[in-house]
Amino acid sequence: MQIFCGNEVITITKILEDGDTIIKLAEENKEVQVEQLLGDYSTVVEKIIKEQVEIPFETITKNAEDSNEGAINKVITQGKNGLKEITYKAKFRNDVEIERTILEEKIIREPVNKVVQVNKSVITSRSSIERTTYNPATTATNSLAKQVQEKIPQVKTFNTSAYCSCSKCCGKTTGITSSGVKATSWYTLAAGSGYPIGTIIYIPYFKDKPNGGWFVVQDRGGSIKDNKLDVYMSTHSSAIQFGRRSLECYVYM
């Protein structure tokens, strides 16, 4: 096919994917600029690219219930990411990648899974509702959980309510806790004096909330005894809607 541009005659001998517009213009006898033609027929360059990508390890929990060892949560094998090399064939037009195809994947280093031995459930002499159990922190990614991965939690059932920083809940509106910091929703707990400020508590009931269920004791309260917890919430309506519930909690002392 020939296209007449002024005094020049351009012969098209090969039709590329992006040439349809030019062919259509030529068939309609419309004038085609040389610059437009050259732009639509820009060079496609192919390159072979190799990249190394980490393979994330998995965490495996090993039940120690039948073991003769003590009731201790411990990491048997530390996890380590693997590594693989991926070879691509990539196409570029005007230095912009327009297509990528995987040619080969090669494992350079296999991942090493993290193996955690879960401790037995043991009834303690302190209370019929308080016991040591497996440590949920070993499989959690929350920053608070990482601080207590080596600790053994105690499971207790607390009479749990909620509060906010309004005058009805606190008698003040500053939001400042007994620890001196400002209360934060999905972080701050009020607990009795038997639980030191800074105690980390995991509440499975809230596992789907932004904090994954992990809280810190930062506040006290006149009616908060050792068998009660108060969860800080951002609004009074949320606190009222939560009401009062008996919730299982994992306490890290």
Domains and CATH numbers, the chain: 46-115 (2.20.230.10), 121-252 (2.40.40.10)
Provide the 3-class DSSP secondary structure of residue 74: strand
Indicate whether 144 pLDDT > 60: yes
d(CA 154, CA 92): 59
96 burial level (CB within 10 Å; 0-12, 13-18, 19+): exposed
Q: Is the pTM of this model over 0.85?
A: no
CB atoms within 10 A of CB 130: 14
Q: Of 55 and 198, which is predicted with more confidence? A: 198
116 pLDDT higher than 90: no
* For residue 34, pLDDT beyond 60: no
| Confidence at residue 131, expressed as pLDDT on a 0 to 100 scale | 44
